[in-house]
Structure 1
Amino acid sequence: MKTQEKVVRAEDSLEGAARLRSPSRSADKRIGYLIPEFPGQTHNFFWRESQALKEIGLETVLISTRKPPKEIMSASWAEQAQKRTTYLLPLSWSEIIQVLTVVLSAGPRAWLMCTKMVLDASDMTSRQKLRLILLIPFAAKLVWLSQEQDWSHIHVHSCADAANIAMLATSLSKSRLTYSLTLHNPLCVYGPNQAQKWGFSKFAVVITQKIYQEVVSSLRNCLPQKIEVCPMGVDLASFRRDLTYAPYDGSDAFRVFSCGRLNPCKGYEYLIRSISLLRSQGLNVRLEIAGEDEQGGAGYRQELERLIGDLDLQDSVTLLGAVSEEAVKQGLKKAHVFVLASLEEPLGVATMEAMAMNVPVVVTNGGGVSELVDDGQNGILVPPENSDAIAQALLRISKNQRLAIELGQAAREKVVQSFSYRRSAQAIASMLEQA
């Protein structure tokens, strides 16, 4: 097993090589960078990617659909990002005038193209097509912003309505506005009209091989010429331990950490029930969950609080709410193990962050997680919706210090080799250069 010093030197070498591979002709370019409801609690990766793009000569002009609830804007950089971001909603009176000017000046050809886009959305109901029409003013605002801010391409981190807005904007733009996509989840998550969203895009990034195969199978003849499979990643310099990982030694509590938005898809119910099982077996265990629901605490969080009360786990499970990246790192430093119990996780930046911190991970094998975690080598995979399996995996790590250390060391090495946040930035820059 490599020493920590050797791993650090290898990481520095890889990071340096990544910079050397940066596209040479990308300097002094500016692109729009559209993220729905930015900055949200799970948006650390987007902020890092925008910084990486800047490092290789692509300035990102931040744009979002609307502001998220204040309760989930927890990142240390959130205030800075909010000040830099232009929001499409709501429209002020002066912006309505600008929008009307864009639409009217676009001319009959653009109007016909917009109409055709709506009519050609064959998988949409009449209500959904009406919604598509109602997105045209925001597409017009996007065109106006591209002219005011001097960019002609926008990268969209969503394949839902944000992609529809970008698609409609291309028809209203006189300056050949183009867009690209990053797909973070299975297509079914993002609603209808995928054929057109992808067909009009210039290029795309897909975060896992599994999702890529789904895209190719579903859309076949509607794909852009360039698609690259490129995972999200972590900032290896930031997510690095300053103290060596210490496995559970039987004193005090066995500390379990989890991180992600509070949503039923994250499987927190099964994780919490696994803690109850471990308590019944006599293990002194404590679980902390970092994250908040989309309603700022008024939604799924309340269901979890009731479950914690029903299982009498108030002293064993803590819901931390939306916290900063630094608080997540502190939670990982203290943890003996990280768990993500998602029903189907596309990949999992939170898991990558834990792995980068040398923390052994227990994650469910739904979705594309197996492209990140190799079962028994750098983590433990368990079936989704299975509290017993989670409890057994946690018990195994709590009783085997050597296993915990080896899993954590191998996890860090896996992330260093394949999951730097700079990879996706380089992919976007390279495909944009070739477009």
Structure 2
Amino acid sequence: MELPACGLYRRGYALLYLLEAFLVGNWMKQRGLTHLHVHFGGPVATVGLLVSKSWGYSLSLTIHGPEEFYDVDLFYLQQKIRQAKFIFCISDYCRSQLMKYSAPDHWKKLQVIRLGIRPEEFVPRADTSPRAESSQNEITLVCVGRLVPAKGQMILLEAVASLLAAGHSLRAVFVGDGSDRKALEAFTASHGLSAHVTFRGALNHDHTREQLAQADIFVLPSFAEGVPVALMEAMAMEIPCVSTMVAGIPELIRNRVDGILVPASSVEELAAAIKLLILDAPLRRRLGAAGRAHVLERYNLPKNLERLAAAFEQALAQPSSSEENG
């Protein structure tokens, strides 16, 4: 029977979490540490929750999403919010989800501290090697991300097939690897796209930047996201981006201002957005420049790290709710 087995698995994981919590708590005690900060709200934060409860150390979190929002009970999300001294959220959307699952008296714990990229590492390509400037030239689409269902790459392949059938000259390059790769390669072969689609696999940062430097358009057709760093990197390189209206993406890309957003899952809307950029080189340049400006303003990692350090200092100086009540 499946249910008891599932229960046994969960009990087994619970025992492992308890063991890890003991080891972490003991490690902190030996070093005289009294505060634990954890990134992400999944299993590692569950260990942090147990450390805080069993050893009495204060706990704080940085929540990225979206996985922990899908099964609040499995991830003990409400308990983590109650136990945490403070929580940093990477987007307003992320904060809204935590507000959804917590009482208003916990909302003051939630602060938005955005992620970012280092602007000096992701710069526009030199003018000596210009991108395609008209629909007569082959347009290169680049998609960077794990090859998993949540990233929606199958939708992009369907859009590419539609655009090729309509006579547009383009190729698509996928950077990343994952469980969907075989299915994506099978679709590519069965639909006669092999001459136009390349799977580069997982690449290091330098080689990924090399692929981005060849892009005329960056596409990320995700079904679920936090705030994708891959989009920030492409925008910083002045590559016009097409993505979807999910989670924190609309905070990064304002539709028709910093890029183009389409409904997730819509092949037709995705193909139409790509077609618009294929046919309008000035629009590509304008969106690319606006995208870089927006990233430098709001997703500049050195500046955001300064904000993070200041937020840590201020939050750690505040008494916890238990100290206030004591």
Shorter-chain TM-score tier:
0.7 to 0.9
Q: Which residue does the alignment assign to 1:111? A: none
Residues 283 and 223 of structure 1: CA distance in aligned 2, closer, same or farther (over 3 Å): same
**Aligned match for 1:375, one of 238, 244, 255:** 255
Q: Which residue does the alignment assign to 1:18? A: none
State the SS of the aligned residue for 1:205. strand
Residues 390 and 242 of structure 1: CA distance in aligned 2, closer, same or farther (over 3 Å): closer
Please tell me whether the aligned partners of residues 247 and 405 of structure 1 are also in contact (alpha carbons under 8 angstroms). Answer: no
393-402 vs 212-221, greater mean Cα deviation:
212-221
CA distance in 2, matches of 1:154, 1:334: 42
Q: Which residue does the alignment assign to 1:226? A: 109
CA distance in 2, matches of 1:148, 1:399: 63
Please tell me whether the aligned partners of residues 196 and 222 of structure 1 are also in contact (alpha carbons under 8 angstroms). Answer: no
CA distance in 2, matches of 1:216, 1:200: 15
Compute the TM-score of the two structures, normalised by the length of structure 2.
0.86
Q: How far has the Cα of 1:142 moved from its partner?
A: 1.2
Residues 252 and 399 of structure 1: CA distance in aligned 2, closer, same or farther (over 3 Å): closer
CA RMSD after TM alignment: 2.3
Q: Which residue does the alignment assign to 1:334? A: 214
Unaligned runs of 5+ in 1: 1-123, 294-298
Residues 423 and 155 of structure 1: CA distance in aligned 2, closer, same or farther (over 3 Å): farther
Q: Which residue does the alignment assign to 1:312? A: 192
Q: How far has the Cα of 1:221 moved from its partner?
A: 5.6
Residues 224 and 396 of structure 1: CA distance in aligned 2, closer, same or farther (over 3 Å): closer
The 5-angstrom pairing of residues 245-394 of structure 1 reads 246-250=131-135, 252-293=137-178, 299-394=179-274
**Aligned match for 1:156, one of 38, 43, 51:** 38
Q: How far has the Cα of 1:131 moved from its partner?
A: 3.0
- Say whether 1:142 aligns with 2:27: no
CA distance in 2, matches of 1:360, 1:241: 11
Please tell me whether the aligned partners of residues 228 and 427 of structure 1 are also in contact (alpha carbons under 8 angstroms). Answer: no
Amino acid at match of 2:100: S
CA distance in 1, matches of 2:220, 2:64: 17
State the SS of the aligned residue for 1:233. coil
CA distance in 2, matches of 1:235, 1:272: 31
- Say whether 1:208 aligns with 2:91: yes
State the SS of the aligned residue for 1:182. strand
Q: Which residue does the alignment assign to 1:13? A: none
CA distance in 1, matches of 2:139, 2:18: 54
Q: Which residue does the alignment assign to 1:165? A: 47
CA distance in 1, matches of 2:271, 2:87: 39
Amino acid at match of 2:97: E
CA distance in 2, matches of 1:252, 1:326: 26
Please tell me whether the aligned partners of residues 132 and 138 of structure 2 are also in contact (alpha carbons under 8 angstroms). Answer: no
Residues 425 and 129 of structure 1: CA distance in aligned 2, closer, same or farther (over 3 Å): farther
Q: Which residue does the alignment assign to 2:322? A: none
Residues 256 and 242 of structure 1: CA distance in aligned 2, closer, same or farther (over 3 Å): closer
Q: Which residue does the alignment assign to 2:3? A: none
**Aligned match for 1:433, one of 294, 313, 325:** 313
**Aligned match for 1:243, one of 126, 138, 142:** 126
Q: How far has the Cα of 1:235 moved from its partner?
A: 0.9
Please tell me whether the aligned partners of residues 340 and 362 of structure 1 are also in contact (alpha carbons under 8 angstroms). Answer: yes
- Say whether 1:197 aligns with 2:53: no
The 5-angstrom pairing of residues 49-88 of structure 1 reads none
CA distance in 2, matches of 1:182, 1:315: 43
CA distance in 2, matches of 1:199, 1:426: 27
Amino acid at match of 1:256: L
State the SS of the aligned residue for 1:198. helix
Unaligned runs of 5+ in 2: 1-5, 317-326
Please tell me whether the aligned partners of residues 202 and 225 of structure 1 are also in contact (alpha carbons under 8 angstroms). Answer: no
Q: Percent identity?
A: 26
Q: How far has the Cα of 1:179 moved from its partner?
A: 2.6
Q: Which residue does the alignment assign to 1:48? A: none
CA distance in 1, matches of 2:235, 2:176: 18
The 5-angstrom pairing of residues 404-415 of structure 1 reads 404-415=284-295
